[in-house]
Structure 1
Amino acid sequence: MRDVLTGAGFREIATVRSYHRTPPCAPARERAVRQLIFEPEHDDLWDRFYERFRFQPSIDTYPGVTEPPASVTWHLGTGHAIAGELDRLVRRGLLACVRPDEPLYFLDWNHQGYRFDPLRVGGPGRPFWPGTAYPDGDYHLYVTADLRLGTFGHPWEESLCVFGADLLTEVEAGLTALLGPVMRRGGRNAGNIWTIGPDGVTRVRP
């Protein structure tokens, strides 16, 4: 072909070099992050969460779920100033606990949710890590598909419940240092109860 072109009057003015990248492993079969809202998978996960945790969404029902035995709940009254560090601690704990190739889910009550691969999100050149542990206006959850571990953020109680023994091992000390004394363990009062109402925050001691 080169001889044909030069014979027709074309002349060579530059050369081109091609590069081919060979990944060290097979390409991922799914995207790192997938939006979920009307998919059966999304509805099924919410339905199972409602049933297992007896979820009662309400602006004045606390704690809103039946907290499992392996759970710890903290008050979030320090506000958005701690949201970034809260996410750092929770994300590090989730990364340490998920199984190989296991997805995580971020659920935002009455909003779009996400299924994502925690090993392939966050950081330069990667998709964003979906959601936040801090419940910014509605209930926020991070959960595994089998609901064995995760977090439940209550926006009106201003609380965060972390459940699952493995996840608690990873995050309890850090969250206590960040958020202060524990509110509940296994759904039971751990020394003080916080209620949030129109008159502000009231601490009631047993």
Structure 2
Amino acid sequence: MKEPVVQLSEAEYRDVWERFDAEFAFRPSMNPATWPSIKEPLDSVTWSLASLDDDPGYERLDRLVEVVEKGLAACVPPQGTLFALDWQHASFRFSPHLVRGSEQERWPLSPYPDGDYYIYLSEDFLTGSFSHPWEESLCLFGHGLLDFVSAEIDDILGSSVRRSGLPPHRA
């Protein structure tokens, strides 16, 4: 990629979302009876984001974003890219190793859902994150990513609410 962040063309946007819908059985909904809104992968852990409601200086939120971004970047080769998907809005392909410096562009979107579903995906769709704005949850998936970040995310958010799509006592 010549640019560190590139907006997906309409055709690529459609292709990536169709593949995501098919592989993750995406079901957008504000209805708790239908959550989780994706088929969470076997290698996944989901945390509630509700504890961040009591974070007046956004210190834990900033730490969460930093940990997830570092973890995702660690799972992508130096020349590799990630998708940053924003449901029903512009979505991007970007190089995590070429963003976030003082002179560089920032990561598109955030692991924290700001009113919409935000998704980061590796090119093979095996590693990434899915943040749900109404459930107030963050699902991270991919063995390498979980190995890299789980302990720190537990410190920031507390115990997980699901593993492999199931409550912890059933996973």
- The answer to whether the superposition gives a TM-score over 0.5 is yes
- Give yes or no for contact 1:149–1:163 (8 Å, CA) kept in 2: yes
Provide the C-alpha distance between the structure 2 equivalents of 1:160 and 1:191, rounded to a whole number of angstroms.
19
- Residue identity matched to 1:148: L
Give the greater-gyration-radius structure (CA).
1
Q: Does 1:34 align with 2:34?
A: no
Higher RCO structure, 1 or 2 (CA under 8 Å, sep 6+): 2
Give RMSD over aligned pairs.
1.5
- Shift of the alpha carbon at 1:100? 3.3
- State the Cα deviation string for residues 154-191 of structure 1 (Å, max 9, x = none): 11110000000011011100100100011011011115
Structure 1 unpaired stretches of 5+ = 1-28, 193-206
- Give yes or no for contact 1:95–1:118 (8 Å, CA) kept in 2: yes
Match of 1:171 among 149, 154, 170: 149
Q: What is the match of residue 25 of structure 2?
A: 54
Provide the C-alpha distance between the structure 2 equivalents of 1:125 and 1:101, rounded to a whole number of angstroms.
19
- State the Cα deviation string for residues 79-135 of structure 1 (Å, max 9, x = none): 363321111000110111112311111111111111111111111111121110001
Match of 2:84 among 106, 118, 123: 106
Question: Equivalent residue of 1:119, what SS?
Answer: coil
Provide the C-alpha distance between the structure 2 equivalents of 1:66 and 1:115, rounded to a whole number of angstroms.
23
Provide the C-alpha distance between the structure 1 equivalents of 2:37 and 2:73, rounded to a whole number of angstroms.
26
Provide the C-alpha distance between the structure 2 equivalents of 1:186 and 1:143, rounded to a whole number of angstroms.
17
Q: What is the match of residue 79 of structure 1?
A: 52
Q: What is the match of residue 15 of structure 2?
A: 44
Greater strand share, structure number? 1
- Give yes or no for contact 1:45–1:145 (8 Å, CA) kept in 2: no
TM-score by length of 1: 0.75
Q: What is the match of residue 65 of structure 1?
A: 38
Provide the C-alpha distance between the structure 2 equivalents of 1:143 and 1:83, rounded to a whole number of angstroms.
21
Alignment of 1:1-206 (within 5 A): 30-36=2-8, 38-60=9-31, 61-79=34-52, 81=58, 82-191=60-169
- State the Cα deviation string for residues 27-68 of structure 1 (Å, max 9, x = none): xx51111122x5211211111111111110011121101111
- Residue identity matched to 1:161: C
Provide the C-alpha distance between the structure 1 equivalents of 2:61 and 2:12, rounded to a whole number of angstroms.
28
- Give yes or no for contact 1:183–1:191 (8 Å, CA) kept in 2: no
Provide the C-alpha distance between the structure 1 equivalents of 2:51 and 2:14, rounded to a whole number of angstroms.
33
Structure 2 unpaired stretches of 5+ = none
TM-score by length of 2: 0.90
**Count of aligned pairs:** 163
